[in-house]
Amino acid sequence: MSAKIYTEKDADLQVLSDRTVAVIGFGSQGHAHALNLKEGGIRVIIGLYPESRSRVVAKDFGFEVCDTAEAVRKADILFIAVPDLKIADVYEKDISPHLNSHKTLLFSHGFAIHFRTIVPEENMDIVMVAPKGPGHLVRQLFVEGKGVPALIAVYQDPSKHARSVALAWAKGIGSTRAGVFETTFKEETETDLFGEQTVLCGGVSALIQKGYETLVEAGYQPEMAYFEVLHELKLIVDLINESGISGMRFSISETAKYGDITIGPKIIDTSVKERMQAALKDIQNGKFANDWIHEYKSGLRRYRALLAAGEEHPIEKVGSRLRSLMPWIKRRNTKGTQASY
């Protein structure tokens, strides 16, 4: 069954007009939602812990910035824009003691609710608005008069108005311009984790590295390997994004097409699908979430070691040098920019 799709005509921003919304956290999604809603005439305050470096940034944008507990007390709708594994501590310390049945909790990802790292009372509305893009893109497209598609979900609805709040929020951040799709916390969480792990991040990263290693170990120059397995990937992804897989094939050479349809399935074969199914099962039964929570509570040693090893892969050094020769490629500061509370 296809998802229900909402557009501009289905959402009323006035639903938020007489309410104060608090954005808890001012990282990637938090800053984008806050700025877009503020420009739509919604009263937005920011909740942060006292030592947060984001306080100055938020104040510079003209927001009232409060300690988290104070923001929770003042607000009617609370957008918890805090990293997944920090939500539990923030919720227990600064959010839960100040909740009541008149407040709405809003999330941009279902992890904390679905895996029950927090368990709110049943007397309040709990909704999700999950843009299908990073915060900087949510902000950029909004300013351009466009929008990032989003998912909405209702987890609890004692007021019987939760969906209208979620749709109003989606409209306020620009997502109804592109289409808003109804889902559940369970479906969003499990499919999002699966996509990140097996295709979009984990799958693509590992495929690129193995392709690079194969060419270099066979005696080809590292620069040639970089261009063929990484640099040109953007062209292919853009074509797929614009026209689908068949549309991409329309734009490439006959030789590339033949290699695509005959060799690709031999590389990504049924054994890969079986491992994808195993990864999905680990997401569904909570094993991945439990492993990640344990890693976080243990100090992130393995996590940091794996990231550091990835940064030392030879393709990173070759890529950095080659990208420096291409001034048209937009650089992003990747040090110290992780979305934070």
Backbone phi and psi for residue 48, each to the nearest 5 degrees, phi listed first = -145, 160
Backbone phi and psi for residue 226, each to the nearest 5 degrees, phi listed first = -60, -50
Known active-site residue 109: yes
- Which residue is it, tokens 């009232």? 64
What distances in angstroms separate CA 137 from CA 40, 83, 206, one per listed residue? 17, 18, 25
Burial label for 10, CB within 10 Å (0-12, 13-18, 19+), is: middle
Active-site residue, from 31, 33, 109, 114: 109
Distance of alpha carbon 101 from alpha carbon 88, whole angstroms: 20
- Which residue is it, tokens 């279902």? 110
Which positions are catalytic? 109
